[in-house]
Amino acid sequence: MSKVTIKDILNKFKLELISGEEGINRPVTTSDISRPGLEMAGFFDYYPEDRLQLLGRTELTFFSMLNEEDRIVRMQRLCTDVTPGIIITRGLEIPEELIEASEQEAVPVMRSNLKTTQLVSRLTNYLEIALAPTIAIHGVLVDVYGVGVLITGQSGVGKSETALELVKRGHRLVADDCVEIRQEDQESLVGNSPPLIEHLLEIRGLGIIDVMTLFGAGAVRSYKRITMCIHLENWDQNKRYDRLGLDEDKMKIFDVEIPKLTIPVRPGRNLAVIIEVAAMNFRLKKMGVNAAKQFTQRLQETIKDHEHED
């Protein structure tokens, strides 16, 4: 089942369907858009037939100069069994040869009033997001001081309760229990909630609560870029936890690595405050202020001073 079909594009961009209606469920599998200029001139050796094809004023003006036989052949070769669809921009008139060829192969031909470059830009942005690789992760996603914090940990460790405390403190819930994550480009991960459980939190002993109804529209977000992960685990007295903040652990999702902090959980620890401080500290590091490194440098300088005195 394809994530995007021609029908989706028709509805999203309010396109006018001209012909090839039988093919409106054809899948769109790539965000690349083709403007078949060389193909209009008869060069089909490298024709990217699996892409959406856009014909603008340049292509159609050249096409109108061809003789009748070439016009028929070019449009027949443009409409293949894998071509998702052909879009005419600027509200231009559709060549009769294209309509006939599209009906034969059931290739949808659509028309838009937008300029070609405008439509290419909007289509590419839409398709890159819609076709981005997606994964579902068990966890909670919260926007804390503008930092997208993914909270992970075993079931029952207190992820949802921590999210509830963060929401009470003025931060915003994105997703609870299941976070759908997509990679939008080489460096960014964006998380959102499955529609079925959007704005909902499950608190053991209390049940399911609607965060937006209880705390208002300002307490939720539809999606958020994920910039750090906080992993909650039950306190293990035999494990050595980082006490300086020099250990830089990473979590890899798709091709993107994000900083990961492991926070031990035990009664009396205010996890919401710890996560708030972690988010602020992350922002400070981005600005070039690293408290752990500064402390280590001062410590080394103090040790050197004592060595010189001795």
Residues 195 and 62 in one domain: no
Instruction: Average the pLDDT over 86-97 and give the result.
Output: 95
Rg, C-alpha atoms of the chain: 28
Residue 139 assigned ligand-binding role: no
Residues 109 and 35 in one domain: yes
Residue 161 assigned ligand-binding role: no
The pTM for the full model equals 0.72
Residues 173 and 57 in one domain: no
Instruction: Average the pLDDT over 18-33 and give the result.
Output: 94
Establish whether 159 is a catalytic residue. Answer: yes
Which positions ≥6 away from 213 have C-beta within 8 Å?
199
Helix axes 271-286, 159-168, angle to 10 degrees: 70
Instruction: Please give the pLDDT value at position 292.
Output: 64
Domain CATH for 195: 3.40.50.300
Residues 27 and 60 in one domain: yes
List pLDDT tens digits, range 236-268: 777 776 665 566 789 999 989 999 998 888 877
Per the structure, the count of domains in the chain is 2
Query: Is residue 29 included in any domain, yes or no?
Result: yes
Establish whether 12 is a catalytic residue. Answer: no
Establish whether 286 is a catalytic residue. Answer: no
Q: State how far the Cα of 306 lies from the Cα of 205, in Å rounded to an integer.
A: 57
Query: Is residue 96 included in any domain, yes or no?
Result: yes
Q: Of the residues 35, 171, 177, 231, which is catalytic?
A: 177
Residues 142 and 29 in one domain: no
Domain CATH for 85: 3.40.1390.20
Query: Is residue 308 included in any domain, yes or no?
Result: no
Could you list the residue range(s) of the whole structural domain that residue 50 is in?
6-130
Which of 107, 130, 153 is the last residue before a domain boundary? 130
Instruction: Average the pLDDT over 31-60 and give the result.
Output: 94
Q: Of the residues 26, 74, 111, 159, which is catalytic?
A: 159
Residues 143 and 265 in one domain: yes
Residue 159 assigned ligand-binding role: yes
Query: Is residue 304 included in any domain, yes or no?
Result: no
Query: Is residue 267 included in any domain, yes or no?
Result: yes
Instruction: Please give the pLDDT value at position 281.
Output: 87
Residue 64 assigned ligand-binding role: no
Q: State how far the Cα of 10 lies from the Cα of 26, in Å rounded to an integer.
A: 12
Residues 174 and 281 in one domain: yes
Residues 155 and 64 in one domain: no
Q: Of the residues 239, 243, 252, 266, which is catalytic?
A: 243
Establish whether 243 is a catalytic residue. Answer: yes
Using alpha carbons, select from 256, 243, 245, 229 the residue that is nearest to residue 284: 245
Residue 100 assigned ligand-binding role: no
Which of 130, 162, 177 is the last residue before a domain boundary? 130
Which of 77, 97, 130 is the last residue before a domain boundary? 130
Residues 106 and 145 in one domain: no
Residue 202 assigned ligand-binding role: yes
Q: State how far the Cα of 253 lies from the Cα of 183, in Å rounded to an integer.
A: 8
Residues 225 and 149 in one domain: yes
State both tokens at 168: 């009470």
Is the pLDDT at 1 greater than 50? The verdict is no
Q: Between 147 and 3, where is the model more confident?
A: 147
70 — phi, psi (to 5°)? -65, -40
List pLDDT tens digits, range 199-225: 999 998 889 999 999 999 999 999 999
pLDDT band at 310 (very low <50, low <70, confident <90, very high): low
Residue 300 assigned ligand-binding role: no
